[in-house]
Chain A
């Protein structure tokens, strides 16, 4: 008899726990004057929004930097992980555990420890302080993550479909475009979106490799909060959050195993 009520209470609790903080950011973003101890802003203002979004403001550079890095890292990372996940899925017998460990190591070990070490090489190769260098560093967390997700995709895929196509005379390229890709496409798209977010959320690797030269949204956000202007911080936070929440809404059915 309490059955219909309990899910509602739980849903309410969960919703509040997730949305209250966002409401707090929303309130701060419109706060003109909000000094202690006022529980609500005493003066509302669009100052922070117009300052952050002003033409030529830093946020546009940071936004473009984030979009550029995360898009390229997601495309490259997914493309690199795809054949590996396929090969690992079809692997029978000895050595599988070792290959798997080698592919997934960066999921549990700190990526920054490696990137700090390799920075000397990046400097010599001219990759330090460049977006390309940052993308390469982001591939460290992106690739193993994509391998795991694509592994799940290939677990539900029957490779005998390809055999059938081959027996019917299809060439390898035809098999890939007409049989394999359509079958795994939804999973690949979800992996790409997740890969985008892994890179989108990355702060420390960007900082180490990009120095102050490669500006992304998290870097701008970090300096905003350290500057102590919470209205500005709130606006940048909301801009930074928007795509992550949008992507989450798109891929929520596959929410399990999410890491940021």
Chain B
């Protein structure tokens, strides 16, 4: 009992409040709404979602945006980590300053980053003005529509810009702890740059890459501000769809909102479960 006492307040928040809230979402997604006089459980909301073309388009967009931004952030993050590592070793006095500069985008809230993307990349944004001044485009309509597009290019660009340093700094922490003699041995055995990377560096940073990648994927899956500001009205991502249903004047849309929330939580939960299972089985070491 004494062991549980210090854990109690925190568990009250994470299990009681958060877990309890999720459970209430599940119950309400099953149509339980005593305020509306509905107490019988049903799966109508889910059945309606499965039959709804908007839901599938939204699910597809959400999965695409999360997958592609995580993959790009992982590739760029690893590359940036390697650059930072090499530069830090070449000039040890600068290592901390470089890390600071690389991390400078981390504290910028996604809402502000989305606004920056808007000011920079919209068809009347700064980049479009500069390409016009340089004679590369004739007007705003010539500039590629990166925002409000059905493939979520603007959303992806924002997420990659924000999440690349996060992955880079996680990978860099592992790189800094590696014994440089591993590389020397491989080089003396005749291994080229690429085979040293795939044979030594990548396997060693993989756990850090995967764990930060899972966090990025889970974040992007549930991100709201970015698709709300930079995405098309339709299709939009699941969290935006869920919020719209939640604030719908028709209270019967509540069950839909809850069902959408449950689907998003399930997607994130499945991913984490698969990751934890793979890790326990030793496949990620």
User: What residues make up the interface of A, taking CB atoms closer than 8 Å to B?
Assistant: 3-4, 6-7, 10-11, 14-15, 17-19, 21, 24-25, 28, 36-39, 79-81, 83-84, 86-88, 91, 99, 102-118, 120-121, 136, 139-140, 143-144, 147, 197, 200-201, 203-204, 208, 218, 221-222, 225-226, 230, 233-234, 237, 240-241, 244-245, 247-248, 252-253, 255-260
Contact = CB atoms under 8 A, between A and B. Distances in A.
Contact of B221 (A10, A103, A110, A248): A110
Contact of B98 (A10, A91, A114): A10
Interface stretch (B101-109, B147-155, B197-205): B101-109
B280 to A, nearest CB: 9
A139 B13 CA distance: 7
Given A117-B261, A252-B103, 16 more contacts: A10-B98, A14-B104, A37-B128, A80-B10, A83-B5, A91-B3, A99-B11, A105-B15, A112-B261, A113-B261, A114-B17, A117-B23, A144-B14, A204-B243, A208-B246, A225-B118
Given A4-B90, A84-B6, A241 B103 contact: no
B242 interface: yes
Contacts of B170: 256-257
Nearest to B269: A109
Contact of B107 (A11, A91, A112, A244): A244
A255 B218 contact: no
A4 B5 CA distance: 55
Contacts of B21: 113-118, 140
A3 B130 contact: no
Contact of A3 (B28, B90, B225): B90
B140 interface: yes
| Contact count band on B | 35 or more
A248 B165 CA distance: 14
B257 interface: yes
Contacts of B97: 11
A252 B27 CA distance: 43
Contact of A84 (B9, B94, B161): B9
B1 interface: no
A252 to B, nearest CB: 5
Contacts of B25: 113-114, 116-117
